[in-house]
């Protein structure tokens, strides 16, 4: 991957991750803060309205107690209906009751019950004379006061009943019960005031059984019909489902003196709408930052990679043999120093090549002169042999001289051949030396690209020593290919075991045995494949199986490394083919293929499961 792409991806990923973390943290903190604020607002609203209801109920209790202590009411209950003054006392009580109803508009009805449970006075005339002896208001009222739950009344208007006992002043004996029915429309006025609760907020009161006793904002005719799930203490803070199935944030407040509970709720979406808007804004800011970061990284990476690209282009030109090419840059940093050092190395290589070519030319001239001289001497010797044919001793001496000259001539030819072979090897080493140096420089550049660590630029000159060792190994391998011997029988299992002794850090398994036709290079073939799996495939485990198939013995060498892409499986056996950052001389697998062809066998590559590569060798075997 190029530096420009890496810089772009790194900038994008850093900004994106940082932005997502900021958005997540901001969203979480803001949500917690807003949730506390909303809950605090709900608590304030619930407490305020609950206090209003408590105040309302306390006032109604006071009115009930005041009437239960009224002397005119007690005087009426003490009188006999047959007394002449009874009617006057009744009228006084009725006027008192009507005045109380007129002053307190929330009062619907007031009536007085005697000891027998008969209504003796009421602001509603038709109630007088009715029996209330079995009514809970009378029964409980005798015992010291009673709050009658509204569900015990079925009239058109919703009422609340409060009763209190009427007793004698001195004796404290039971005289009757005063009962007041209150219209709960006042409670409706309190709970329907939803100021500050938005469009989804609701406040309502529920009784001890969980039924609503005030109107609902979302359900018609909910009083004593709509039941609300009762939550355990402490659960009102949490998000929960309300009676309509909506997710809400709510709280409650218990109304003192009666088993009622006031509930205040607001919809989740409306409550956290500011958080949603804040999140959208932060995502917009993140998008702007990503765009700016991408443009900035493109500018920086372009300035950074331009000299490196120029250096790589120069290395490719020199690899093609253009030793006059110069890659020096004006940059004063490590890249510039490396490019100028590279130019110096190229100049030295060109000078060495010219000297070798000059030496080769001189050597051929010397050999030609020596050959001409030998030919001349051979001709002179032949003339002398003919001239001295009749002289035995001279002929013998001449023959000896001729044999010596012929031997020298042949020796000169052998020396010429040897020199030519050495020259070919020197040229071969020269070519690979340049290639290895370029490969080393490329590796250093790639390491620098991947890590931006400047020490890799300073390590480039050190690869020269490694090149010397590589040339020596390549010479041995080339000699191994060019000097074939007759094929012999080899125990392939023993050959493999001898090779893997040099790789103690790798886990090997070997299954099967077989005798195959090969030469002493078979060990190098196995070693090249194993070395390729370790150095290029990056495997730490290799499984080898040997299987006899008709006239062939199949050897499968399976590694668990990074594998070989399908598009290069056929190319890896070509001479000089390289791939990836670990590519080097490109001769190892080429030698494997040539050796297998000389054995009359074949080699191919398969994919391993779950990952890695399998090299399959088919060798002729001994039946």
Q: How far apart are CA 185 and CA 178, in angstroms?
A: 22
Q: Domain-by-domain residue ranges, the chain?
A: 69-187, 347-461, 484-620
Confidence of residue 470 (pLDDT cuts 50, 70, 90): low
pLDDT at 491: 94
Query: Minimum mean pLDDT among 211-220, 377-386, 412-421: which range?
Result: 412-421
Q: Is 448 exposed, middle or buried (0-12, 13-18, 19+ CB in 10 A)?
A: buried
The model's confidence at residue 404, banded by pLDDT at 50, 70 and 90, is confident
Looking at residue 499, what is its pLDDT? 93
Q: Which residue has the higher pLDDT, 556 or 418?
A: 556
Worst-scoring range by mean pLDDT, 18-22, 148-152, 551-555, 590-594?
Answer: 148-152
pLDDT of residue 583: 60
Is residue 377 pLDDT above 50, yes or no?
A: yes
The highest-confidence range among 166-180, 412-426, 488-502, by mean pLDDT, is 488-502
> Which of 459-473, 513-527, 546-560 has the least mean pLDDT?
459-473
Residues 481-536 pLDDT 10s: 555 567 899 999 999 999 999 898 999 999 999 999 998 889 889 999 999 999 88
pLDDT confidence of 420, banded at 50, 70, 90? low
The residue-averaged pLDDT of 566-574 equals 89
| Percent of the chain residues past pLDDT 90, beyond the cut | 16
Question: Tokens at residue 178, please?
Answer: 């005063």
Contact 240, 180 (CB under 8 A): no
Rounded CA separation 419/131 (Å): 143
Read off the pLDDT band of 330 (50, 70, 90). Answer: low
Q: What is the mean pLDDT of the chain?
A: 80
Q: Which residue has the tokens 């209003």?
A: 52
**Which CATH code, of 3.40.50.800, 3.30.565.10, 1.10.275.10, 3.20.20.10, is assigned to 484-620?**
3.30.565.10
Q: How far apart are CA 48 and CA 50, in angstroms?
A: 5
Residue 155's pLDDT is what?
43
**Identical fold, 69-187 and 484-620:** no
Average pLDDT for 118-138? 88
pTM for the whole structure = 0.44
- The count of residues in the chain is 623
Query: pLDDT tens digits for 230-284?
Result: 666 555 556 788 888 888 888 888 887 777 888 888 888 888 888 888 888 888 8
Q: C-alpha angle with apex 502: 497 to 503, nearest 5 degrees? A: 95
**Between helices 86-103 and 71-78, what is the axis angle to 10°?**
150
Give the pLDDT of residue 375: 85
Portion of the chain with pLDDT greater than 70, in percent: 81
The pLDDT value recorded for residue 167 is: 87
Burial 400-412 (b: 16+ CB within 10 A, else e): ebbeebeeebeeb
Residue 45 CB partners (closer than 8 Å, separation 6+): 196, 197, 203, 264
pLDDT in tens, 4-52: 687 778 888 988 898 889 888 888 888 788 778 887 888 888 888 888 8
Determine the pLDDT at residue 421.
43
Distance CA 481, CA 591 (A): 7
Helix and strand numbers (H, E) in the chain are 14, 16
What pLDDT, on a 0 to 100 scale, did the predictor assign at position 87?
A: 87
Residue 83 has pLDDT above 80, yes or no: yes
CATH fold group of domain 69-187: Beta-Lactamase (3.30.450)
d(CA 450, CA 468): 27
């Amino acid at each position: 991957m190029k530096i420009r792409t890496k810089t772009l991806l790194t900038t994008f990923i850093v900004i994106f991750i940082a932005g997502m973390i900021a958005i997540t943290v901001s969203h979480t903190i803001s949500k917690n803060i807003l949730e506390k604020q909303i809950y605090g607002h709900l608590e304030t609203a619930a407490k305020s309205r609950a206090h209003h209801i408590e105040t309302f109920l306390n006032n109604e209790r006071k009115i009930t107690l005041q009437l239960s202590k009224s002397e005119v009411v007690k005087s009426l209950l003490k009188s006999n209906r047959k007394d002449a003054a009874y009617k006057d006392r009744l009228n006084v009580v009725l006027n008192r009751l009507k005045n109380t109803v007129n002053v307190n508009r929330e009062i619907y009805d007031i009536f007085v019950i005697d000891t027998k449970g008969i209504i003796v006075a009421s602001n509603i005339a038709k109630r007088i004379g009715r029996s209330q002896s079995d009514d809970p208001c009378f029964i409980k009222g005798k015992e010291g006061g009673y709050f009658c739950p509204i569900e015990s009344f079925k009239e058109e208007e919703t009422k609340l009943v409060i009763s209190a006992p009427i007793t004698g002043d001195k004796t404290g004996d039971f005289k009757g019960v005063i009962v007041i029915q209150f219209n709960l429309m006042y409670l409706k006025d309190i709970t329907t005031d939803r100021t500050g609760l938005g469009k989804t907020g609701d406040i309502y009161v529920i009784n001890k059984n969980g039924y609503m006793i005030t109107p609902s904002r979302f359900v018609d005719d909910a009083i004593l019909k709509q039941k609300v799930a009762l939550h355990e203490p402490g659960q009102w803070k949490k998000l929960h489902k309300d009676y309509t199935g909506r997710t809400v944030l709510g709280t409650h407040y218990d109304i003192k003196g009666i088993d009622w509970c006031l509930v205040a709720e607001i919809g989740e979406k409306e409550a956290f709408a500011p958080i949603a808007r804040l999140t959208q804004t932060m995502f917009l800011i993140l998008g702007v930052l990503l765009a700016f970061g991408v443009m900035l990284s493109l500018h920086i990476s372009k300035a950074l990679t331009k000299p490196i690209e120029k250096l790589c282009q120069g290395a490719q030109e020199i690899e093609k043999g253009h030793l006059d090419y110069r890659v020096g840059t004006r940059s004063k940093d490590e890249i510039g120093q490396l490019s100028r050092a590279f130019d110096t190395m190229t100049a030295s290589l060109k000078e060495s090549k010219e000297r070798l070519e000059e030496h080769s030319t001189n050597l051929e001239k010397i050999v030609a002169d020596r050959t001409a001289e030998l030919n001349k001497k051979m001709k002179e010797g032949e003339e002398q042999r003919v001239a001295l044919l009749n002289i035995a001793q001279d002929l013998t001496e001449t023959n000896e001289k001729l044999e010596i000259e012929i031997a020298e001539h042949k020796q000169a030819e052998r020396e010429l051949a040897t020199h030519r072979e050495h020259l070919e090897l020197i040229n071969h080493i020269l070519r690979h030396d340049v290639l290895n140096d370029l490969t080393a420089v490329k590796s250093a550049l790639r390491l620098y690209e991947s890590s931006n660590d400047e020490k890799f630029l300073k390590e480039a000159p050190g690869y020269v020593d490694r090149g010397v060792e590589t040339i020596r190994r390549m010479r041995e391998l080339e000699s191994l290919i060019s000097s074939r011997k007759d094929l012999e029988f080899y125990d392939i299992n023993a050959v493999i075991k001898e090779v893997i002794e040099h790789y103690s850090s790798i886990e090997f398994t070997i299954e099967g045995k077989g005798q195959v036709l090969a030469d002493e290079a078979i060990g190098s073939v196995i070693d090249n494949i194993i070395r390729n799996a370790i150095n290029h495939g990056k495997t730490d485990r290799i499984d080898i199986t040997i299987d006899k198939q008709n006239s062939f013995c199949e050897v499968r060498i399976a590694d668990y490394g990074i594998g070989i892409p399908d598009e290069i499986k056929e190319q890896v056996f070509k001479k000089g083919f390289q791939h990836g950052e670990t590519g080097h001389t490109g001769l190892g697998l080429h030698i494997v293929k040539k050796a297998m062809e000389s054995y009359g066998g074949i080699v191919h590559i398969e994919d391993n499961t779950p990952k890695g590569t399998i090299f399959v060798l088919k060798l002729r075997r001994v039946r």
